[in-house]
Amino acid sequence: MARLYLVGLGLSPSFLTEEARRALRDADCVFADVYTSYFDYGRLGIEARPLGRADLEDRGGAAIEECLRAGRNAALLVPGDPLAATAHAALVASMRRRGHEVVVVPGVSAVCAAMSAACLSIYKLGGVATVTYPRLGVYSARPYELAEANLARGLHTLLLLDVRDDGGFMTPAEAAEILMELERREGRGVFGGGRLVAVVYRLGWPGGGVAVGPLADLAGSRLPPPAVIIVPSKMGPVEEECLSTLPKIGAPP
């Protein structure tokens, strides 16, 4: 029976595990997710067919199944941890229902790594939402509502940043502007300009780092994508002390 490997690549090529390398050696067809995250596949030295959002969601991984039906092993390369995105979980379920064997190879999760980089406890992470670009003038209030609920419960909030259809990434400054616009619309004090945030950018790549400061400062920053924004809630003494040692948003590198 042909086998599908769902291979988590971690944060960058240097995070590739030995188990991931074994899976790639066993694969006859290699595909690369180019939708859910940034990854320089060329640095792996592997030829992989790129699959975008339409390939994975709308067409249900038809190219992958074609390879499997021919009796050949396939691998789908996924940045970070392979089952962090619902698109990949749906693909796994679909392939198993069709009788294909699926092997999941875990990778370093960007969510866990970002929380660690920001000195915040994963045990106090209340949930994850995505800051999206407005569509036809409509802003999704999901990040606002989640952060509001988490702050009330003493939990941290991690915000992913949108990916445009052309593959471009939302910048931290754009995300901050959207969050402050949500505050102007909702008006309940969640994302005022003084709200403390931590931004983790280009994690695992050259030029990456973490910075903390008020949301208004982030709106005026030039920190590069891809990035995540973390909204800390009530911190423990160790979290607070460690966070205080991180660079400030806008400070010289």
pLDDT of residue 18: 95
Calculate helix-pair angle for 172-186, 142-153, nearest 10 degrees: 80
For the chain, strand residue ranges (E) read: 3-8, 29-33, 49-51, 74-78, 101-105, 125-131, 156-161, 196-201, 209-214, 227-231
Percent of the chain at pLDDT exceeding 90: 72
Q: Provide the residue ranges of all domains of the chain, joining segments of one domain with +.
A: 3-105, 110-244
Residue 37 has pLDDT above 70, yes or no: no
Cα separation, 202 vs 217, in Å, equals 19
Helix %, strand %, coil % of the chain (to 5): 35, 25, 40
According to CATH, what is the number of the domain 110-244?
3.30.950.10
DSSP string of 138-162? BPP-HHHHHHHHHHHHT-EEEEEE-
Residue 87: per-residue pLDDT:
73
Q: Does residue 50 have a pLDDT over 90?
A: no
The yes-or-no verdict on residue 111 having pLDDT over 70 is yes
pLDDT tens by residue, 84-101: 877 788 889 999 999 999
pLDDT band at 40 (very low <50, low <70, confident <90, very high): low
Closest C-alpha to 107, from 9, 13, 205:
9
Q: Alpha carbon 149 to chain centroid distance?
A: 21
Per-residue confidence (pLDDT) for residue 224, from 0 to 100? 95
Q: Please report the pLDDT score of residue 163 as a whole number.
A: 84
Q: Residues 176-234: pLDDT tens digits?
A: 999 999 999 999 999 999 999 999 999 988 899 999 999 999 999 999 999 999 999 99
Identify the CATH number of the domain defined by range 3-105.
Answer: 3.40.1010.10
Residue 118 banded pLDDT, cuts 50, 70, 90: very high
pLDDT at site 90:
87
Which of 25, 58, 163, 42 is closest to 50 using CA atoms?
42
Question: What pLDDT shows up at residue 38?
Answer: 63
